Amino acid sequence: MFERKPIILLLLAALAISVGTLVTMVAPFRWINDPQLKIAEVRPYTPLQLEGRDIYIREGCNNCHTQTVRPLLADVERYGDYSKAGEFVYDQPFLWGSRRTGPDLARIGGKYPDAWHYRHMVDPQAMVPRSNMPKYAFLQRPLDTNLTSRKMQALHFPYTSADIAALQGKSELDAMVAYLQKLGSDIQWRKTAQVAVVGDLRNPFQENKSVLSEGKGIYEKECAQCHGADLKGGVGPALANLDKPDAEVFKAVYEGLSAGGMPAFGDTLGKERVWKVVTYLKYQQRH
């Protein structure tokens, strides 16, 4: 009907595009900055964390890593509680991303100790053998803080002269690790989603040597990066002389240790595989 009326057709097309733009772009940005959506626990970046975020952007980390957990079962089971709008109120620009060449990082903060991140950034394959992430050892160079205070002012983030002075002697790697440890750590999702041990805590494989091979394989894949292939320690403590009851070792692996920065493996390995790792560790301790 409008094919012969180009002016009307053009106006209708412009109207349709405008409505689509408002719905898909303008409205979401307004919603994301709605004060009512803010989460009280979410804090602005510190100067060191902000510098780390800028380095993250500079190095193109967002090209391989997303920072948003979708409300899908596969995402939630692997990465933790799905992302909320209020988590990103201080992110300018947002780094949600769309590709996962590497894992999502929205919940990485607090999952591993600082030492794990330092070693992983310097030599990713030392911590994750099959990783295709390049080495970032060059980030050990001094951090340039000439514009730090101006960045904090531009974003209206609170800081003090002592905060800026504390950056002296820091490296770019220090800033990157500080930023990674910030991601997802403001909200207490990990505590509320913690997997607790239930049921009998007797080792069903205590005298079963047939599971040692599988237990060793699980250890080498999930644990050796921190505790050493020879159980002599590294990022984590040595396990060669693990003089603790089976049940205590099981709970540490299953539930994790917040004090030591060890993540929980109960939700990813399950009871049976955790017990096989425990059986392998205890066998190594006796022999």
What is the pLDDT tens value at each position of the chain, 287 positions in all?
Answer: 666 777 888 888 899 888 888 777 766 666 655 656 678 889 999 999 999 999 999 999 999 999 999 989 888 888 888 898 889 989 988 999 888 999 999 999 988 889 999 999 999 998 888 899 999 999 999 999 999 999 999 999 999 999 999 999 999 999 999 999 999 988 877 665 555 555 668 888 887 888 889 988 998 888 888 888 888 888 888 887 778 888 888 888 888 776 667 878 877 788 898 898 988 888 887 76
Domain range enclosing 125:
47-192
Does residue 243 sit in the same domain as residue 130?
A: no
Judge contact between 211 and 276, C-beta under 8 A: yes
Q: Which helix (H) or strand (E) holds 73?
A: helix 73-79
Does residue 157 sit in the same domain as residue 255?
A: no
Does residue 64 sit in the same domain as residue 143?
A: yes
Does residue 85 sit in the same domain as residue 56?
A: yes
The domain spanning residue 278 has which CATH number?
1.10.760.10
In a domain, 22, yes or no: no
Return the beta strands (E) in 29-93 as ranges.
Answer: none
Does residue 163 sit in the same domain as residue 83?
A: yes
The backbone torsions φ and ψ at residue 286, rounded to the nearest 5 degrees and listed phi first, read: -80, -20
What is the number of domains present in the chain? 2
pTM of the complete model? 0.77
In a domain, 56, yes or no: yes
In a domain, 5, yes or no: no
